Chains A and B, each alone.
Chain A
Amino acid sequence: MGVEFVQLSLTPLLIGILAAIACALPGNFLILRRQALIGDAISHVVLPGIVVAFLLTGVISTWPMLLGAAGAAVVAVVLIEAIRRVGRIEPGAAMGVVFTSLFAAGVLLLEQSDTSGVHLDVEHALYGNLESLIWFSAEGWGSLTDPAALAALPPELFRMAAAAVLIGLLTVVFWRPLKLSTFDEGFAGAVGIPTAALSLGLVITAAVAAVAAFDAVGSIIVIAMFICPPAAARLMTNRLEIQVLWSVAFATLSAVLGYVLAGYGPLWLGADNAVSAAGMIATVSGLILALACLFAPHRARIGAPRGA
């Protein structure tokens, strides 16, 4: 746990933890709103959003990427709603149409455009590259106090940290209306909460989380971070406040365990090469969910099923 750890593992680990938490927070509400697959849809459309932003600006930088991804998420949600209402198509199918098509457009644009100069290719977009986000100029734990070394931290870390803090703040500030409108949308409307705007805000927040986590884990594995920790947390408690805390804990655990297993697991088994950290984080979060499904105290449904 010396120089090598600080140089190669510290920043990816931190980015992984922050990404997992930033996604798990909105994920709690998406799951309770039966919108888990909106998370699925959003993470797919982040790709075309980023590619279009890149084609327009010619650079890969934070703001165009964020705007592109948030724009793509809004376009996707509007399209899904339009198809659902006008075409009277059930929401699942409407979602399926929209996100696969936008994703296909993103892949095609990416293949057609010259991205050789930048850090953007199809595989990277699909499952990220957490391992590459290393702190090159660190020389040990002491570098944490060295301004020159700190300045050379990968920018992804700052971006991810800013996103996680922003999402944490938003969750706290809008906690009450979010909880109220998630539980009872009609009542929320009747006390003057702008439920439609809040709903869209949640989707955009999820898109911000997805785009910030995109570098680290790509667009598919992000779905695991949206869904698995909150889903497992739901089975641990019957109070939303506590559920959110559990989801943060599970997200952190998945990130740490996943990263360590990916980086060091193969070495313990005698192989020389690490495996995909993002993939391993998703796998671990899945295992946690599986354990929660088998043993968590509040895993079973109580009361009447929905709609009865």
Chain B
Amino acid sequence: MPSLLLDALLLQAGYNAALVALGAALLGMAAGSGGTFLFLRKRALVSDAVAHATLPGVGIAFIVMVVFGGDGRNLPGLLLGSAVSASLGLLAVQWIASRTRLAEDAAIGAVLSVFFGFGIVLLTIIQTMSSGYQAGLESFLLGSTAGMLFQDAVVIALGGALAVAFVLLLRRPMTLVAFDAGFATASGINVRRMDLAMMGLVMAVTVIGLKLVGLILVVAMLIIPPVTARLWTERTDRVLLIAGAVGGFSGYLGAALSASAPNLPTGPIIVLVSFALFLLSLLFAPGRGVLAALVRHRRFQLRVHRRQGLLALAHGEAIFDPLTLTVLRRERLIRQDAVATEEGRALAAKTLRDEKRWALARQVYQDEAVSGSYDGLTPIESVLTRDEIAEIDRRLGPPAPVA
């Protein structure tokens, strides 16, 4: 199996498999970056409704093609049908959310489940339509690349490439709209049209992804990469880039893994690869990661307690918070019986000095930059220059020692 995986990774597992892997990578890139816009517009789960709403379209397209004497399994035809019903689903979500008192989340849930339910009804009709057709439309639910036709693989690869090109072309206006729709309007961008383009992109990714990942999981390709990317950076252009990379990598590795062994359905594998990347990011990302946050919060709490403790010492007040006492004891600023040490008194005096400087500074400098930083923790040195502090000290007079 490792050699099979290696073959698949190196695109040596057959022409189809290679095309599928490339297609999955391209689709992953397009989905990751396209999903970024949706995520930044805080509408990630709209894609869930769009994806589930493709099912009745697939069913109807199949029936129509058979009725007109064609091959019901023609992939472009099925994809066209799915795009039409996905658009209807999207319209339904928007109509319910804007015209009734129901919120968008209820609209999304209703549309996705009802369209899906109706799609299942159609599938059961197709199953019994005529015995000659082994439609295999169930593969659209969870994706399947086993026994995929060559031309289907071509459709996926081409579609993925087109979607990537689309993102590259429109990334600038879309980023602007996602970041600040009001500003985008003011700079002459048609926000409605951009939203439409964004939804079109989402729809395209969904439809192309149907055969590969299936309609239940394709939404993961739109959501997980942007969220993963967001954990690493605060800059929109980088979110876009990282999301594309995460999506592309997951698509490629997932498709290769799936081709290397039986019973590894493509859709779930691709999703789980990107989820693994997400989990690693959630744990270890520097800014928004769990570990970083835990360390930061603890440090912050200790800083607060230390400062409060020193102020209490300076004012000659008693300390009753156990954590404050622990912090001060650990730094040997107080003795076991909570009496301040030499060092503690010195530091307390310094802290008190800082407080007094702040109080005076806030009267002297009446601007936001100074008063807004008066949160009890920011050292005054980080806000005022040395000369300004010297001037304040002159007004305050000589420091008083803490008894």
Contact in complex: B265, A93 (CB < 8 Å): no
Q: How far is the CA of A37 from the CA of B43 in the complex (A)?
A: 12
A105-B268 contact, Cβ under 8 Å, with A87-B230, A221-B116: yes
Number of A positions contacting B (CB below 8 A): 68
- CB pair A108–B268 under 8 Å, yes or no, is yes
- Give the residues in chain A near B275, CB-CB below 8 Å: 97, 101, 104
Interface centre among B105, B226, B230 (most CB of A within 10 A): B105
Q: A103-B216, A227-B110 are in contact. Are A127 and B267 (CB under 8 A)?
A: no
Select one of B105, B226, B263, B272 contacting A34, CB under 8 A. Answer: B105
Q: Which of B94-102, B168-176, B303-311, B324-332 contacts A (4 or more CB under 8 A)?
A: B94-102
Q: For chain A residues 1-54, which have a beta carbon within 8 Å of chain B?
A: 31, 34-37, 39-40, 44
Cβ contacts A227-238/B at 8 Å (1 or 0 each) = 110010011000
Interface residue stretch chosen among A65-73, A142-150, A203-211, A292-300:
A292-300
Which B residues lie within 8 Å of A37 (CB)?
45, 48, 105, 108-109
User: B385 in the interface, Cβ–Cβ < 8 Å?
Assistant: no
- CB closest chain-B residue, reference A40: B109
Does B114 have its Cβ within 8 Å of any Cβ on chain A? yes
Which residues of chain A from 228 to 273 have any CB-CB distance to chain B below 8 Å in the complex? 228, 231, 234-235, 262, 266, 271-273
- Interface flag for A280 (CB, 8 Å): yes
Indicate whether B125 reaches chain A with its CB closer than 8 angstroms.
yes
CA distance A105 to B265 in the complex (A): 11
Contact B217 A103 (CB under 8 A): yes
Minimum C-beta distance from A130 to chain B (A): 11
- What separation, in Å, do the CA atoms of A36 and B113 have in the docked complex? 12
Contact partner of B271 among A101, A262, A271, CB < 8 A? A101
Out of B95, B113, B123, which one reaches A228, CB within 8 Å?
B113
Q: Is the CB of B288 within 8 A of A86?
A: yes
Contact of B219 with A by CB under 8 A: yes
Within 8 A of A (CB), among B273-309: 275, 278, 282, 285, 288-290, 293
Residues of B within 8 A of A280 (CB): 117, 121
B389: Cβ under 8 A from any A Cβ: no
A194 CB to closest chain B CB (Å) equals 24
Knowing A104-B271, A275-B125 are in contact, say whether A96-B223 is a contact too (CB < 8 A): yes
Instruction: For the complex, give the distance between the alpha carbons of A226 and B112 in Å.
Output: 12
| B223 smallest CB distance to A (angstroms) | 4
With both beta carbons as reference points, the residue of chain A lying nearest to B262 in the complex is identified as A111
Chain A residues lying within 8 Å of B272, measured Cβ to Cβ, are: 101, 104-105, 108
Residue ID in chain B nearest A113 by CB atoms: B263
A126, closest chain B residue (CB): B141
A235 to B103, CA, bound (A): 12
B-side binding surface: helix, strand, loop or mixed? helix
Q: A273-305: contact bitstring with B at CB < 8 Å (1 yes, 0 no)?
A: 111101111110110010001000011111000
CA distance A97 to B42 in the complex (A): 14
Contact B45 A111 (CB under 8 A): no
Whether B116 and A282, one on each chain, are in contact in the complex, defined by CB atoms closer than 8 angstroms, is: yes
The interface residues of chain B lying within 8 Å CB-to-CB of A35 are 105
Contact A282 B106 (CB under 8 A): no
Say yes or no: B227 contacts A104, CB within 8 Å.
no
Query: Which chain A positions have C-beta within 8 A of B43?
Result: 92
Binding site for B on A (CB under 8 A): 31, 34-37, 39-40, 44, 82-83, 86-90, 92-97, 100-101, 103-105, 107-108, 111-112, 122-123, 126-127, 220-224, 226-228, 231, 234-235, 262, 266, 271-276, 278-283, 285-286, 289, 293, 298-302
A-B contact pairs, 20 of them (CB 8 A): A31-B102, A36-B106, A40-B108, A40-B112, A44-B216, A90-B44, A93-B39, A93-B223, A93-B226, A96-B44, A107-B265, A107-B267, A111-B264, A221-B120, A234-B101, A281-B117, A289-B114, A293-B100, A299-B100, A300-B101
**Known pairs A100-B224, A222-B113, A279-B117 / 15 extra A-B pairs, C-beta < 8 Å:** A31-B103, A40-B109, A90-B44, A97-B220, A103-B216, A123-B141, A221-B120, A224-B113, A224-B114, A276-B117, A279-B116, A279-B118, A286-B117, A286-B118, A289-B110
Binding site for A on B (CB under 8 A): 39, 42-45, 47-48, 52, 95-96, 99-103, 105-106, 108-110, 112-121, 123-125, 128, 138, 141-142, 216-217, 219-220, 222-224, 226-227, 230-231, 263-265, 267-269, 271-272, 275, 278, 282, 285, 288-290, 293
